[in-house]
Amino acid sequence: MSAPAPAEERGSERGPLAIGVDIGGTKVAAGVVDPGGRVLGQVRRPTPSRDVVAVRDTLLGAVRSLREQFDVVAVGVGAAGFVDADRATVRFSPHLAWRDEPLRDEISQALDLPVIVENDANAAAWAEWRFGAGRGESRLVCVTLGTGIGGGIVFDGRVQRGASGMAGEFGHMIVVPDGHRCECGNRGCWEQYASGNVLGREARELARAGSPVTVPLVERVGGDIDALVGQVITVAAGEGDPCAVELFEEVGRWLGIGLANLAAALDPGIFVIGGGVCDAGDLLLAPARESFRRTLTGRGFRPVPGIVAAALGPAAGLVGAADLARIAAGATTRGDRDGVRETAHGNGTVPSRYRLFGLAEHPEHDRH
């Protein structure tokens, strides 16, 4: 995607700003986001390995450096992992050493600002619903394909977090009993068949078996089969490499089957597909739509939900986290005040006046 347009080009005033932070396994990205979803300033820092205190200090440092330039009303932290439904505690994060980490209160005290913590895929889904490819849809499911599969559900203007914050872990639906081992401990999970990792795994397996179809791919990485990772396959597929295109067709087919399962359970109006693998566009989505159409429950007697590429790119997580934090803090636009909080679908065109509602007393303002 292109860089966010300057505010003046999008024709709106700023309104209350919030900082969103996306904590990944390799980098911490923080950005100042306005009520129209525009990123006004951003900093990136490497994630310091698996040291809990160092990660927190990096997060705080990034936020503080942005606060030197911008007045903000809240901070939203998007993190991979299991975040409780109160958006306060990271129960487990696969890339970081957080175990039952009370992140919200720690960060909030250190910054003296309202803070929410959100699962990164939920934050990205929210951003796509508010500002991106799923804007205005009443029932949206977002699926992010990276090393695994992240998922988020936004129904009727609310992120659906489930009873314990675990909703949307679509990647661990079992689609092949006794299939490939998954790091979650089970076998045959969807993300073992439809993610960026799968592209690399399958390419390496084929190459090691000496399959002639992989010869151009192996030459591409100078003979180093271990270097055949998802990103390489994505580039190769874009350039028409037949084996890479075939691998995308296979992953796309599995993507469509899993989406059909989700449609049977959730009946969304639209699926928004994000993540680096989506750079391949229709190389992935065309076979996904095809297998989805052939697998969909009630096909022929129901509208077929759209399957579209995400619009916001890698910034979706921090944009969504910032927006959710701004809304939770009660820093609303005029449009938000019409009886809605998280359900706000204000597009940032009327943020000229706003109020803060008891930030210190009610940091969880939007819970209802």
By CB under 5 A, name the binding residues for Zn ion: 172, 182, 184, 186, 189
Nearest CB to Zn ion, comparing residues 129 and 193: 193
Q: Which is nearer to Zn ion, 48 or 179 (CB)?
A: 179
Cβ distance to Zn ion smaller for residue 258 or 363: 258
Closest distance of CB 263 from Zn ion, Å: 21
CB nearer Zn ion, residue 190 or residue 354: 190
For the bound state, the minimum distance from the C-beta of residue 152 to Zn ion, rounded and expressed in Å, comes to: 17
Nearer to Zn ion, 145 or 270 (CB): 145
Residue 341 near residue 6, CB atoms below 8 Å: no
Nearer CB in complex with Zn ion: 25/94? 94
At its nearest, how many Å lie between Zn ion and the CB of residue 26? 22
CB of 182 vs Zn ion, minimal distance in Å: 3
Q: In whole angstroms, how close is the CB of 230 to Zn ion at the nearest point?
A: 18
| 195 CB neighbour count, 10 Å cutoff | 26
Q: Identify the residue whose tokens are 């791919």.
A: 217
- In the complex with Zn ion, the residue whose CB is nearer, 130 or 172, is 172
Question: What is the signed CA dihedral for 357, 359, 361, 364, rounded to 10 degrees?
Answer: 90
Least separation in angstroms between residue 147's CB and Zn ion is 12
Other beta carbons within 10 angstroms of residue 325's beta carbon come to: 31
Rounded to the nearest angstrom, the gap between the alpha carbon of residue 222 and the centroid of all alpha carbons in its chain is 33
| DSSP state letters, 252-302 | HHHHHHHHHHHHHHH--SEEEEESGGGGGTHHHHHHHHHHHHHH-TTTTSS
Q: Tell whether the torsion through CA atoms of 298, 303, 304 and 306 is positive or negative.
A: negative
CA distance 208 to 198: 15
C-alpha distances (whole Å) from 52 to each of 30, 75, 120, 209, 271 are 18, 19, 18, 42, 35
Token output for 264: 């049977």
- As a whole number of angstroms, the distance between CA 151 and CA 158 comes to 14
The distance of closest approach from Cβ of residue 185 to Zn ion in the complex, given in angstroms and rounded to an integer, is: 7
Nearest to 347 by CA among 337, 333, 361: 333
Q: Please give the Cα distance from 357 to 178 (Å, whole number).
A: 52
Q: How far apart are CA 100 and CA 112, in angstroms?
A: 22
The nearest distance, CB 258 to Zn ion, in angstroms, is: 12
Closest by CA to 171, choosing from 194, 199, 196, 204, is 194
In terms of CB distance, is 173 or 311 closer to Zn ion? Answer: 173
Residues present in the chain in total: 368
* Closer of 63 and 189 to Zn ion (Cβ): 189
Residue 182 or residue 221: which is nearer to Zn ion going by CB? Answer: 182
H or E segment and range at residue 64? helix 52-67
Shortest Å, Cβ 192 to Zn ion: 7
Say how far apart CA 18 and CA 319 lie, in whole Å: 9
| Least separation in angstroms between CB 274 and Zn ion | 19
